[in-house]
Amino acid sequence: MQALGKLKDEPGIWATERPVPSIGPLDVLVRVWTTGICGSDLTIYKWGDMVRQFVPLGTVTGHEFVGEIVEVGSGVAQYKVGDRISAEGHVGCGHCRLCREGQAHICPDARGIGVQRDGAFAEYVSVPATNVVPLPASIPDEIAALLDPLGNAVHTALSFDLVGEDVLITGAGPIGVMAAAVARHVGARSVTVTDMNSYRLDLAAKMGATRTVDVSQESLEDVREDLGLEGGFSVGLEMSGAIPAINGMIAALRNGGQMALLGVPPAQAEVDLFRVMFKGITLKGIYGRRMFQTWHKMIAMLESGLDVSPVITHRFPASEFERGFQTMAQGNCGKVLLDWRQIERA
């Protein structure tokens, strides 16, 4: 089969021929239809010092996908050949306290599809049956291919009660703008999204943001006064990982505000904890999706009218993956999809 692998200790992803994966008795084999390029995939492509610790050379990358089951293991009874599915990308150990409490996304021994085990940038991928998510017919393939990052947005946005609240989102990448759509869908009074990329701020407005702010041109303090927010924003969703954005959000929140952090900052970060303490701000770290509460909630929201389709801005055949990664690296895009049903063979 055709696949994309991290084959060299240098920036890049390379096309490679691999055997179709074999499956165990509790696995399913999936024919991949469509994949999304994630920000973490771009990080693997760029091959910085941090990611080298987690991704073995030779790994087939990719974890956002939709496809069809073509083989089931002998111990799998709940799925069948022909089922259209996506899958959770974190494979927990299944035995530790966190896994048994429904928090397998933070299992200390979890292995990531496309990170520590071969992933979905391929014509076929092997997935544990416990990670499979069956899909209702009402969800189109392209939306199904981005349920993984949508789940990040849903997990972050639903960390706090947003009904009637004034929400600040820092970072207008694909997950940030999807979080804006989620916040409006569940009843936020206002949703302000900040960034310095005009393309992505325009995308945030299309996704439901009531106010967009280019922080290189406008201060959050002025925006807060303009919106007439007494004391500041009530809920913050931090999606950028940028230290100025994190500290700017802390400053912009009202006393007693709540803040969920999904963006990954540098290893060493100077955060204004003094202000966090004296303003009584609640901080919550977010990683991945709650398994499988988040999946249930996001699918239910999609079935009840949540529209995240504007976030999909670019589509390429899988054979043109380099264009996909270059588009992601340039930043003037939302979600970039690769179609694995369009394969060019030598």
| Cα–Cα distance, 92 to 21 (Å, whole number) | 20
Q: Residue 117 corresponds to which amino acid?
A: R
The topology (CATH level 3) of 159-285 is Rossmann fold (3.40.50)
Instruction: Indicate the residue type of 134.
Output: P
pLDDT digit string (tens) for 122-147? 999 999 999 999 999 999 999 999 99
Q: Are 229 and 254 in contact (CB under 8 A)?
A: yes
Given this model, what pLDDT does residue 75 score? 97
Q: pTM for this one?
A: 0.94
Task: Give the fold, CATH level 3, of 2-146+308-339.
Answer: Quinone Oxidoreductase; Chain A, domain 1 (3.90.180)
Residue extent(s) of CATH 3.40.50.720 domains in the chain: 159-285
Question: What residues of the chain score a pLDDT lower than 50?
Answer: 346
pLDDT in tens, 35-86: 999 999 999 999 987 788 889 999 999 999 999 999 999 999 999 999 999 9
Give exposure, 33-69, as e/b (b: 16+ Cβ within 10 Å). bbbbbbbbbeebbebeeeeeeebeeebbbbbbbbbeb
Nearest to 130 by CA among 309, 5, 292: 292
Q: Are 104 and 92 in contact (CB under 8 A)?
A: yes
Domain with CATH 3.90.180.10 in the chain: 2-146+308-339
